Amino acid sequence: MAYSAASKARQILETNDRYIAGGVFSLNRKIDPMRVFAQARGAHIWDADGNRYIDYHAAFAPYFLGHADPDVDRAVVEAVRTCSSLFGAGTTPWEAELAELLVTCVPTMESVQVTNTGSEAAALALRLARAATGRDGVVLMQGGYNGWEDDVAFNLMDPAERQTPGPDGNLPLHPISAGIPESVQRHIRVVQFNDLAAAERQLQSREVAAVLLEPILQNIGIVKPEPSYLEGLRRLCNEHGTLLIFDEIKTGFRHALGGYQSLCGVTPDLSTFGKAVANGYPLGVIGGKREIMEHFDHPDPRRRALIAGTYNGHPVPVAAAIATLKKLRSREQEIYGHTDRLGQELKQGLRTLFAERDYPVTVARQGSAFVVYFMDHAPKDWLDIARNNDMERDVEYRRRLIDHGIFHFPVASKQGSISFAHTWVDVEQTIEATAKVLDEIG
């Protein structure tokens, strides 16, 4: 459903095209058909013409408590009233409170630092790993997304024919952006998720500073680690003097208060968090073992990793993060229990609908995160999805759901996110709308 020529949204889009390079302030948000959103509350969003949608995109997943959570917003308003100023020198009481909360919630982090975004946190994690190891190499996962910074902007969602590994298991590098120097590319290796042998071949050179990965590949839906995969990476990193970094920007605080690492039982050397940590307010976190984190203030300047940022620790997003973590901690069983039950109910409802129509799909889920793959098995990596997921049917399904008031990001294999604000009624309406969509697409 495209906007009519007379709609308010169409007028806004035309203005954007005149004044914004690319038409939107983050090109990752450019979708087809384009939408102009103007309001959000709880589990729902409204476009500029007043159409309401049940939101399962959640702005790429930060809104675990729901849009405009009253407890979080109340803390933000109070921060604005009392002190929303940047001092640019010294510290504040709120920095101490947030740091203590983070370390309490995620015990594998012995100390932390705060940034404004998850991309910044990932970039700093690699800088820190290089400072600590004296190495430059980085191993990434095909299909994973770890931010926009040069060192990680490779091999996002390549076609299957571009994923033929070399003899060492290293995949051909495909930058996702122009402007990345070739000198950066010399230090980057990419392997398929769940391919422990390929990762091992990269580490044998002893030139790799870090293996950086989402412990569940949630940039491409829900691709779970196979049994012993994460444990195997931990062992290999120990053997070869390489740091293991978990990118928990999406998985952190959505799947468990201690991050996905608390569920899988594997302790990384460093972790990055974002999105759900402040329920949608801009804040990123890097944390880990104290002896590594201390390189941010190492007594030897030659080994010191710079972390700086005028807006790091701004009182407003810090207040949001404190309120979010306090709520998750005090109501942990209620919040995670509710979202998990809704996830299970939605998964079962979708599976029943597709089975009745003899659709070969797989509904993958981890807690409140889910995805429908148009293939007959749960994927083990991005190559599996690229070869077997019916991308055209996937996108058509998503676009038609939007027409029926159910908003999923209209790109194949993208994760859906349930929030604490979703209700059983939302799930029932989603299943009803899905039935109509399946009847339409045949």
Query: Which amino acids are annotated catalytic?
Result: 145, 247, 275
User: DSSP string of 363-407?
Assistant: EEEETTEEEEESSSS--SSHHHHHHHS-HHHHHHHHHHHHHTTEE
What kind and span of H or E run contains 220?
none
Query: Across-strand partners of 46?
Result: 39, 52
- CA 154 and chain centroid, separation: 16
User: DSSP string of 251-302?
Assistant: TTTTS-TT-HHHHHT---SEEEE-GGGGTTSS-EEEEE-HHHHGGGG-SSGG
Q: What are phi and psi of 323, to 5 degrees?
A: -65, -40
Q: Which residue has the tokens 């071949």?
A: 201
- Rounded Cα–Cα distance for residues 47 and 194 (Å): 40
Query: Across-strand partners of 55?
Result: 407
Positive or negative CA dihedral for 326, 328, 333, 338?
A: positive
